[in-house]
Amino acid sequence: MDKIDASADSAEGGNLERVVGTYLSEKARRALGEIGLSKSEIKAYVALVSSGSLSAADISRLSGLPHKKIYEVLAGLEKKGWIESDRSRPTKFYPKSPATALETSKMDAENRLIQNQADVLNELLPIFEKRAESERPEIWIVRGEATILSKVKETVLGCERELMLAIPVVASRFTGLIAPFLATLHEKGVKIKVMTDESTSQDSLGATGRWAEVRARQLQFGGGVIADARNVVLLLGEEPGGSGLAIWADHVGLAKLAKDYFEYLWNESKPFPQR
C-alpha cells in the first residue's frame, strides 16, 4: 500500500496532519483506475477525502503532484463528478461522497455505452448481416423439443400460400401448437393440408378439420411442415440421448422434394373421418 505524500509546514497545518498516515490499498487504487480515474486524480481525490476541503496548493503538497499539473487534475475530477469547488479566493475544492461519485460515474458509463453501442451497431451490424446472409447454411440441424417446436411455429406463421403438415401419431403434440394458427392462415387464404396416421384420435386433432383438409394413412412414420414449397421442417425422431431431432431448410431443391413426396403420400391417403 502507498502512503500519501504530505508536508506539514503549510498554513493549513491542522488539516495536513490529518492526511499524514492515510493509506489506500492497491486493490482500491486499481478499482478507481478501472472506473476511470487517473493515478494523479486518485491521489488528489484521496487527499481531499482525508481533509474535507483544500486549496489547489495544499492538494499539491498533500498528494505530491506538481503545482503546474494540479489544476488540470482537479478540472478532470470536477468534470467526472468526484469533486466540486467554490468561488472563494483562493478557490477551495471539496470531495463528493464516494457513493455519489461512483453513481455519477456509473450513469456516465451507461450513457457512453448506449451511445457507443448505437455507433457500433449502425456501422457494423449491416456489414455482419450481409456477410452472415451470404455464408448462412441452407440446411440446419435442430435439436431439442422446445427448439423444434419454436422452428415449427415460425415456419407455420411465415406461410403465405400453401401449408402442408404431416403429423404421425408420435408427433401429435405438434398439433396443439399449430392448431391455434390455422384459423388465421385460413382467413388469409392459405390452403392447408394435414396428413396424419389412421390411429390418430379425433380429439388430438381438435378443430383442425375446420380450417384444413385432413387425410389419413394406414401407417405414417415421418412428419414435418412444408410452407410455400420454400421452407421445410422434417421431424427425424429422437437421438440416442432422448433429445428431439429435426432438419430445417429453405433450400428450394429439398423443399420441392419434400413437397413432391408429401403429395405422393397424400394422393394415396383417405379423408380423415370427421365427427
Q: What is the pLDDT of residue 244?
A: 77
Report residue 99 as a C-alpha cell: 457513493
Q: What is the pLDDT of residue 66?
A: 94
Cβ–Cβ under 8 Å, residues 164 and 262 = yes
Q: What 3-state DSSP class applies to 261?
A: helix
Fold of 2-96: Arc Repressor Mutant, subunit A (1.10.10)
Q: Which CATH architecture has domain 139-271?
A: 2-Layer Sandwich (3.30)
Kindly report whether the peptide bond that precedes residue 90 is cis, defined as omega within 30 degrees of 0: yes
Q: What 3-state DSSP class applies to 33?
A: helix
Q: What is the pLDDT of residue 249?
A: 82
Q: What is the pLDDT of residue 18?
A: 40
Q: What is the pLDDT of residue 34?
A: 93
Q: What is the pLDDT of residue 5?
A: 47
Q: Report domain extents, the chain.
A: 2-96, 139-271
Q: What is the pLDDT of residue 238?
A: 67
d(CA 199, CA 146): 25
What residues of the chain score a pLDDT lower than 70? 1-23, 131-138, 168-177, 200-207, 219-222, 238-243, 273-275
Q: What is the pLDDT of residue 15?
A: 41
